[in-house]
Structure 1
Amino acid sequence: MPISPSSSAHAARQTVAQRLRDLRRDADLTGSELARICGWTHPKTSRIENAKTPPSPDDIRRWCNACGVPDQAPDIVAQSQNAEAMYVEWKRKTAAGLKQLQESYVPLFQATQVFRVYSGTVVPGFLQTEGYVRALLGSISSFHEVPNDVEAAVAARLERSRILHERTKRVLLLVEESVLRHQIGDADAMAAQLGCLLTAGALPTVSLGVIPSARRDRSIWPMETFHMYDDTLVSVELLSARVTVTQPSEITLYLRAFEDLRSMAVYGAEARALIVRAIEALAAE
């Protein structure tokens, strides 16, 4: 089963810390000596070497200069920045608004051929209708207290979803049946969303599976929402942050989890029957 999604970010930070520690030792410097040359305290050196504090680009340049290897600084700066990008708090990611967040995914979407998405909470963004996404992004904007550009963000997300019609792409989507029952927005918005799901399977690029709530022989439990981009990157959505997983062993675990979840899902007529039941339950309320 997938391990903590933050482990890739932590491992990447540790790699940077180990590399800096090795440079200090190769230069035959103690932690105190390096701190004195760099102009900071010894505890700061210790925090950086133990991956407790991420070094700034200036910290890395000073470190490399102190160790007599200034030429290594650019590479380590890039490595450190990549490590920090693996764990990004939503507060930081949405500081400029939700529209920019939607648009930031476009290059990754364009470069990906096979998308695998699992969600146990909401309809995947690829299939979200206008009313549904407006209600969802409105809630997110309010909860995270980010700039209110919901209407622009809705347009950006709907535009981004046009990728479903590119025949070179494959989009494999899995949702728990409970997603069909979580009402986002008013009844009309939810009904329109469920209606969209009824026809989603007709798209040649899309496979939509629904994991029945009544399924008792589960080999894996419901988990956090995750997106897989080809077999090179996994993005995991937590309450406070987005975690990017790039470590091959962890990607393999997420791929295995996706295939296990996929084997428990129903498709075609069986999936549509579950969606129809959700529509009927909505109408009965």
Structure 2
Amino acid sequence: MSTDYQQARAALGVRLRELRLACPDGRLTGTQLAELLGWPRTKVSKLENGRQAATPEDLRAWAGATGQPELEGELQARLKGFESHIRSFRRQLTAGYRPVQETWNSEIAKSRAVQAWEGTVVAGMLQTADYARHVLIRYADLHQNPHRDIDDAVRARIQRQQWLYQPGKAFHIILWEAALHALVCPPSVLAAQLDRLAGAIGLDTLTLGIIPFGASLKISCADGFLILDDRVAITEDWHAELWLDDADTVATYRRVWDMLGESAVYGADAHNVINNARRSLAAG
């Protein structure tokens, strides 16, 4: 679990404990509050110690049971604040994979400049349908989530690529060479994906950089991320997407982007790296 997420959940727990101890009719023990709410006693402890995520219903019940219903709005705002920045896949995927892709589509639609860095897979904006399907299935397996709407999600992801052909948009994508070799799909699918990458070079809306294996690195090739119009940086952990919109954090990601870009090759040189990966795949 991310440190920021855990700290925010723990801070909410501290506030819940304060409300329990400040009941207008006298403080309640954890056991007493649990009995009032009809909860297991351990749930009160877990919420107060940040070991369990509260739901909006939990917060409404807590404010009412502690005799302070007027504070429900504050509690809900705290929950909404950190959940809007830490978007757990478990919660997002309850509605399926397509809504997640459609959320991304709406964000890309309102962005003029998109910067993407990926170290181990091809960026979604440039994926073929077959490649995208294999990537999404692997994540579905990781999260033990049914594949029920994977094809709908693939269509939504591919639909995002329409903006590559829209004047006024600018996509700046950097990949590590590892992404050109990673067999997250069958070799034939990867071959078609590499052809797609090579064919995208030259689009006037796209700048594609590749960091070769032998390049001198200004900074380590860590987790993938996107920057949308310098207003938000988005990265992923295994459990969640992190949407980071404070100016200092976005500026940090922008510096990382600039440092990665210094190690990348572009144009004909990027084309050569892709072609070498294609030949290596064929030889294998």
* Structure 1 contact 13–84 (Cα < 8 Å) conserved: no
Deviations 1:41-99 (A, max 9, x none): 77655543433333332332244345654333134214313423544443443344333
- What's the CA shift for 1:209? 1.2
* Structure 2 contact 201–271 (Cα < 8 Å) conserved: no
* Structure 2 contact 202–267 (Cα < 8 Å) conserved: no
* Structure 2 contact 119–179 (Cα < 8 Å) conserved: yes
2:269 corresponding residue in structure 1: 270
Q: Which amino acid aligns with 1:163?
A: W
Confirm whether residue 214 of structure 1 aligns to residue 214 of structure 2. yes
| Unaligned 5+ runs, structure 2 | none
Deviations 1:104-158 (A, max 9, x none): 3222222333222111111000001123223333444445442343332222211
Q: 2:8 aligns with which of 12, 17, 22?
A: 12
- What's the CA shift for 1:265? 1.2
- What's the CA shift for 1:169? 2.6
1:35 corresponding residue in structure 2: 33
* Structure 1 contact 8–246 (Cα < 8 Å) conserved: no
Q: Work out the CA distance in 2 between the residues paired with 1:147 and 1:96.
A: 12
1:151 corresponding residue in structure 2: 151
- What's the CA shift for 1:213? 0.6
Confirm whether residue 162 of structure 1 aligns to residue 162 of structure 2. yes
Change (3 A) 1:273 1:84: same
* Structure 1 contact 87–244 (Cα < 8 Å) conserved: yes
Change (3 A) 1:140 1:20: closer
- What's the CA shift for 1:185? 3.3
| Unaligned 5+ runs, structure 1 | none
Change (3 A) 1:111 1:53: same
* Structure 2 contact 227–234 (Cα < 8 Å) conserved: yes
1:112-261 maps to which residues of 2 (within 5 A)? 112-143=111-142, 144-215=144-215, 217-261=216-260
State the SS of the aligned residue for 2:213: coil
TM-score (normalised: structure 1): 0.81
Q: Work out the CA distance in 2 between the residues paired with 1:192 and 1:199.
A: 11
Change (3 A) 1:206 1:19: farther
1:94 corresponding residue in structure 2: 93
Q: Which amino acid aligns with 1:35?
A: L
Which piece of structure 1 moves more, 258-267 or 39-48? 39-48
Q: Work out the CA distance in 2 between the residues paired with 1:112 and 1:20.
A: 38
* Structure 1 contact 60–73 (Cα < 8 Å) conserved: yes
2:110 corresponding residue in structure 1: 111
TM-score (normalised: structure 2): 0.82
- What's the CA shift for 1:164? 2.1
Q: Cα RMSD between the aligned structures?
A: 3.1
Q: Work out the CA distance in 2 between the residues paired with 1:31 and 1:262.
A: 57
Identity %: 29
* Structure 1 contact 17–49 (Cα < 8 Å) conserved: yes
2:50 corresponding residue in structure 1: 51
Change (3 A) 1:183 1:54: closer
Change (3 A) 1:37 1:248: farther
State the SS of the aligned residue for 1:115: strand
Q: Work out the CA distance in 1 between the residues paired with 2:43 and 2:184.
A: 47
State the SS of the aligned residue for 2:262: helix
1:47-86 maps to which residues of 2 (within 5 A)? 47-65=46-64, 69-86=68-85
Q: Which amino acid aligns with 2:3?
A: S
Q: Work out the CA distance in 2 between the residues paired with 1:63 and 1:138.
A: 39
Q: Work out the CA distance in 1 between the residues paired with 2:164 and 2:252.
A: 26
